Each structure stands twice: as C-alpha cells, then as structure tokens.
Structure 1
Amino acid sequence: MGRNLKSTHKKFKKEAKKTLYKGLDTKKRKLEPRLTYLEELSSHLSLPPDIIAGAPIITAYGRNEICIENYKGIIEYNDKLVKVQAKSCKICIEGRALNILYFTEDEMKVTGYIKAIYYQ
C-alpha cells in the first residue's frame, strides 16, 4: 500500500496552455468602426447609404461653392462660419465672405471663399 502517487496536474496545465489558445489571436487588434444597422442594410441591398440612412451629401465645386444635401437645420451662420446639423453629425464650413445662396428643406448652397470643411 505504500504507493507513491505523483500528481500530473502541473504537467497537464502546461500542455493545455499551449494548445488551448493556439487557434485564438491574442494580440490586440485595432477596433474598426462598426457600421450602423441602416448602413449595413444599404450595403446588402447594394444601395447608396445616403438613400436609406439619410447620410449628408457634400459636393464642393472648387473653393467657392458647396452644396449640402440631407441636412436637418442651420445651427450657426455668419460670414466666416456656417454650421449645419445633419442626421448623425454637425458639418462646419469655415471661410471668408460665406453666404447661403439658397436653402430648401433638404438642400443648401453656400458660396464664398471656403477654407475648411469638417465634421463635429
């Protein structure tokens, strides 16, 4: 009866560690921005995202004219800054002698010397 039993737990643990996580990538990856439900739906239906999701469309004609479509409202407007609320962000246009040539319910045209267009 004096058998000496040796535990194999440490050996098993060492071997399991090598094989358990073998198939997994344990290095940290950069997270890519996730698509919204409507953006994903539009890609599956092969439709432009602006149609389904109401994404803003900004068309620049040189440095002197911009057309913005699918906006909700004007937040701020003066000769140096035009700030517009879109569905998912704010669109800011900076420049000199800026003027809103016309605006309708979903489209506007801004003229003047445009220095920058950015999103907030």
Structure 2
Amino acid sequence: MLRRKGKLQTLARLFEIPQDIVLDLPRITMLGNKQLLVENHRGIIEYTPSLLRVKFNQGELVIKGSALSLSSFQTEQILVEGTVREVKYDI
C-alpha cells in the first residue's frame, strides 16, 4: 500500500496534479477564526454549537469553538461559521 501511495505521489508531481485529488486527501481552508471550509469529507460524526467532528478516509477533523454552524453542507464540502478556537486532525 505504501509503495502504491509513493507511486501516486510521483505521478502527481510529474503531471502537476494536486496531491489531494490523487491521494483522496482532505483540503481544509480557514479564513481567520470565523470560517472553515472542509473539502473531500466522508460525513459528519458529531455536531454541536461548540464541537464538530468530520470523517475522512484517513482519520477525522475535530473543530472546537463557539456558535459553530453549518452554513453550507454538500456532498464534497462543508462550510463552518462561528468562532473557531481549535482545529485538530486525528488519524
């Protein structure tokens, strides 16, 4: 499996393809501490106004804060708004 992953990374670099696409990795974009865009997710594990856990193929993202809300929830992306205090990626 690791050998295959290494070959995919090499091909991604060779053809200048973003690795998140080739390796099915999440893309996380944070705008200050007010918005967080999570792409390439596999669903929500837990959601409260102070905690959001998002599932990925490899691990999960834990977002802690206050007044967290899902302003957009689509098949491939989630937009979280509120005051983000902590973001942690657990494998």
Fold shared, TM-score > 0.5 on shorter chain: yes
Q: Matched residues in 1 for 2:16 and 2:88: separation?
A: 27
- The two structures have a TM-score, normalised by structure 1, of 0.66
The 1:47–1:77 alpha-carbon spacing in structure 2 relative to 1, beyond 3 Å, is same
Q: Matched residues in 1 for 2:10 and 2:53: separation?
A: 28
Instruction: Give deviations 1:2-24, integer Å, cap 9, x for gaps.
Output: xxxxxxxxxxxxxxxxxxxxxxx
Q: Number of residue pairs matched?
A: 87
Q: Do structure 1's residue 44 and structure 2's residue 14 form an aligned pair?
A: yes
Task: Return the structure number with greater strand share.
Answer: 2
**Seq. identity, %:** 31
Structure 2: 5+ residue runs without aligned partners? none
Instruction: Give deviations 1:27-55, integer Å, cap 9, x for gaps.
Output: xxxxxxx9934334323332111111121
Task: Give runs of aligned pairs for residues 1-120 of structure 1, distance below 5 A.
Answer: 36-37=5-6, 38-120=8-90
- Bigger relative contact order (CA 8 A; separation at least 6): 2
Structure 1 residue matching 2:43: 3-state secondary structure: strand
Q: Tell me which amino acid in the other structure corresponds to 2:21.
A: I
Largest Rg, 1 or 2: 1
Shift of 1:86: 1.1
Structure 1: 5+ residue runs without aligned partners? 1-33
Q: Tell me which amino acid in the other structure corresponds to 1:114.
A: V
